[in-house]
Amino acid sequence: MATESALQRNEGASTRVFFALWPEPALAEKLTGIAGELSASLGGKPTRAETVHLTLAFLGDVPNARLPELATLPPVGAIAPFVLALDRLGSWQHNRLAWMGCSESPPLMNLVLGLRRQLGEAGFAIRDPDRPFFPHLTLVRKLPAGLAASVRHLPQDIDWPCREYRLVASTLSAAGSSYRTLARYRLSA
Ligand code: NAP
């Protein structure tokens, strides 16, 4: 459901937006606890609990005039709530991130593909459409340069019950980015 007051607060001609799964506060705290441990051992800046998420589709700048249309798209249909098993931690060198990821998840892929189809049919382009979708939650940014990329499996999966996804506006500044939820969509079969 779109948040009208949030839609009205967009300054400028366009807004940087993305769709994402957002964990409930208790899970977000757990994930950012792990982010804190990682950044304590590796360096970098841990993600805050209120901003940890898994991006489903990144659109980048969308004209503000089209935001109400985007925010009132219906939820992607025929996707029941599902549980995502977070089972691995990794890091990338090219963008200096540490992340948490998951094994292959058919409902997650159906949601991503359904969202892409819906956005395309409504005339919204996603950024870098040829970039393979790699499901991850960024846990640490600005890792020290030169740290080798790595992946390791967690001793035990962290189950994430996914019941809704969000449309979020991102504002970049010298201090980092800040996010604002524009709409929420419930998953249902
Ligand atoms: P953003 O660039 O608006 O990205 C929002 C979300 O979309 C993130 O999940 C990001 O993935 C994803 N995304 C961005 N471009 C994408 C693309 N072309 N294709 C697919 N997915 C894409 O905001 P941000 O990522 O939070 O930060 C942007 C800049 O601010 C970065 O340079 C970052 O280093 C800097 N910054 C952020 C923070 C913070 O707390 N968020 C703090 C300090 C500095 P990723 O998570 O993989 O990037």
The confidence score (pLDDT) of residue 7 equals: 72
Distance 1 CA to ligand 1 centre (A): 24
Helices (H), the chain: 4-8, 25-42, 67-71, 106-121
Tokens of 189: 């079969």
The model's confidence at residue 92, banded by pLDDT at 50, 70 and 90, is: very high
Tens-place pLDDT, residues 10-49: 678 999 999 999 999 999 999 999 999 999 999 999 999 9
In degrees and rounded to multiples of 5, residue 30 shows phi and psi of -60, -45
C-alpha span between 53 and 74 (Å, rounded): 21
**Ligand 1 atom with minimal separation from the 54 CA:** 9
Q: What letter does residue 50 receive in the DSSP assignment?
A: G
User: Residue 154 belongs to what domain range?
Assistant: 4-186
Using one digit for the tens of pLDDT, what is the confidence trace for 139-176? 999 999 998 899 999 999 999 999 999 999 999 988 88
Atom 28 of ligand 1: nearest residue by CA position: 177
Number of other residues whose CB lies within 10 A of the CB of residue 165:
24
| Number of separate domains in the chain | 1
Contact 105, 84 (CB under 8 A): yes
Active site residues: 53, 136
185 ligand 1 Cβ < 6 A: no
Nearest CA owner, ligand 1 atom 27 = 177
Is residue 187 pLDDT above 80, yes or no? yes
pTM value is: 0.94
Question: 171 CB less than 6 Å from ligand 1?
Answer: no
Ligand 1 atom nearest to 48, measured from its CA: 40
Query: Domain holding 46: CATH number?
Result: 3.90.1140.10
